[in-house]
Amino acid sequence: MRVRVLGSAAGGGFPQWNCGCPNCSGLRNGSIKARPRTQAQVAVSPDPSRWFLLNASPDLRQQILATPELSVISSSLGPPISTILLTSADVDSVMGLLHLREFQPLRIYSTLSVRRALTEENSLFRVLSRSSPPVQWETREHQRGRPMTQRRAGFQPARCFSGVRPSSGTETPDGLRGIRRAGACRSRCGRGRLPRTAALR
């Protein structure tokens, strides 16, 4: 199993275009020792030929181009990315899907509430069903001991709770606010703690 952190910044990346905090300003003028960071994004690989994405950040195209393992090796094999696991319907977790919609098969795993938020409540993401071939959705809910599997790779949704206001597309059938983004940087641009996402066991 391989895990690649493609991005580690909060929403908007680092530096944020509209932020004048000491970190963002210091990076722009060179007064601090830091590097620009794209938004939080992780890729997981059970074998060298396949990669799963945990969410799809708005910076996904840039992140893929900067990661040779995610590049197309040959036209006959196609891209190694074929599966996306969505932990919420937050904009920062799903905007990258629009970069992946062109002419390749994609499978998206999510809870039913996340799927509804994207396919029924937000017309922008209906473009995914009009791609060729269309995106395949696989919905799963929180069921202890029943992991999702795909060719030797398994993953299981797990509830995460925090004190922040619930985000969109995350209400579970029992009324609890479950899989969601939890935790925000104090400055949202790298000065506080990194944003946390829902656990995938």
Is the model's pLDDT at 97 over the cut of 80?
yes
Q: What pLDDT, in 10s, does the model give residues 5-61? A: 999 998 899 999 999 999 999 999 999 999 999 999 999 998 878 899 999 999 999
Q: What is the DSSP code (8-state) at residue 62?
A: H
Separation of alpha carbons 109 and 107, rounded Å: 7
2-155 classified as CATH 3.60.15.10? yes
Buried b / exposed e across 9-22, counting CB within 10 Å, b at 16+? bbbbbbbbeebebe
Contacts of 123 (CB under 8 A, 6+ apart): none
> CA angle, 59 as apex, 28 and 76 as ends, to 5°?
135
Determine which of 25-39, 58-72, 171-185 has the lowest per-residue pLDDT on average. 171-185
Contacts of 170 (CB under 8 A, 6+ apart): 88, 89, 111, 113, 114, 177, 178, 179, 180
Contacts of 72 (CB under 8 A, 6+ apart): 78, 79, 80
Contact 8, 195 (CB under 8 A): no
The pLDDT value given to residue 130? 72
The pLDDT value given to residue 103? 60
Rounded alpha-carbon distances, angstroms, from residue 131 to 34, 64, 99, 127, 160: 39, 20, 11, 6, 33
Give the 3-state secondary structure of residue 116.
Answer: helix
Rounded alpha-carbon distances, angstroms, from residue 138 to 32, 84, 108, 185, 197: 45, 10, 6, 31, 20
Q: What pLDDT, in 10s, does the model give residues 103-159? A: 677 889 999 999 999 988 888 887 777 766 778 888 876 555 455 555 545 556 666
Q: Domain spans of the chain?
A: 2-155
Is the model's pLDDT at 95 over the cut of 80?
yes
